[in-house]
């Protein structure tokens, strides 16, 4: 019996560890092909890397421009590098890409009327859930109060005796 309990504890611990490990992103930003760029000049390497991880490669859609080895990703990295070299801001570069490929290139969608449901939908659902919860709880409470007819309530009180329904004033009679 004790062994069994120990074993189940052990399994639990392993499961917790596994889930923790899985939730940690252990693959670093690989930044394929980055070595081809020269960061000794105007272009800041950190800024470049920070930007390309936010942008989606359109060929292999679940990879960022930093991760993807697709031909197009190479071209777009080169394009972004050159734009940075020309002194363009991050916003100008992102706008350049959105104008050509659409908002799909952004991993983080912009907040605008079209994406409101995406950004605020979960909060809406939360509010609906809370309302349903409140209504249900209130209804149950009412049911508890009016669930029995007067006769039934009397009979119940008789059965339960004073324990369940202490008479007012009785409390004060208790020895201190």
Partner 1 sequence: MPAFARYLAPLLAFLALAALLYKGLDIDPRTIPSPLIDKPAPAFKLPELKHPDKFISNADFQGKVTLLNVWATWCVACRQEHQNLVLLRQKGVDIYGLNYKDKRPAAEQWLQQFGNPYIVNAFDADGRVGIDWGVYGTPETFVIDKHGIIRHKHIGPITLNAIENEILPLVKKLREAN
**Interface contacts to partner 1, rule CB under 8 A:** 58-59, 61, 71-72, 75-76, 79, 98-104
* Shortest spacing between CB 45 and partner 1, in angstroms: 23
Pick 44 or 82: Cβ nearer partner 1: 82
Confirm if 109 and 103 have CB atoms less than 8 A apart: yes
CB 42 within 8 A of CB 9: no
Shortest Å, Cβ 66 to partner 1: 17
Q: Which two tokens stand for residue 49?
A: 């890397």
Q: Give 148's contacts (C-beta < 8 A, 6+ positions apart).
A: 156
Q: How far is the CB of 175 from partner 1 (least distance, A)?
A: 51
Do the beta carbons of residue 68 and residue 30 sit within 8 Å? Answer: no
CB-nearer residue toward partner 1: 85 or 103: 103
State which residue, 44 or 75, has the beta carbon closest to partner 1. 75
CB of 107 to partner 1, least distance (A): 14
Instruction: Please say which residue, 58 or 66, places its beta carbon nearer to partner 1.
Output: 58
Listed in sequence order, the DSSP H helices in 24-115 are 45-52, 71-85, 90-101
């Amino acid at each position: 019996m004790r062994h069994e309990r120990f074993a189940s504890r052990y399994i639990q611990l392993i499961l917790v560890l596994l889930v923790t490990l899985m939730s940690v992103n252990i693959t670093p930003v690989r930044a394929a092909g980055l070595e081809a760029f020269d960061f000794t000049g105007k272009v800041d390497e950190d800024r470049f890397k920070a930007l390309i991880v936010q942008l989606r490669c359109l060929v292999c859609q679940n990879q960022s421009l930093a991760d993807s080895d697709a031909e197009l990703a190479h071209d777009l990295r080169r394009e972004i590098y050159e734009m940075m070299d020309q002194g363009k801001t991050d916003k100008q570069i992102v706008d350049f890409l959105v104008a050509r490929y659409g908002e799909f290139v952004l991993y983080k969608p912009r907040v605008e009327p079209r994406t409101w449901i995406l950004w605020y939908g979960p909060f809406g659902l939360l509010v609906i859930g809370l309302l349903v919860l409140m209504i249900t709880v209130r209804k149950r409470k009412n049911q508890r109060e009016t669930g029995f007819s007067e006769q039934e309530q009397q009979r119940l009180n008789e059965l339960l005796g004073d324990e369940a329904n202490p008479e007012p004033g009785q409390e004060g009679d208790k020895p201190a």
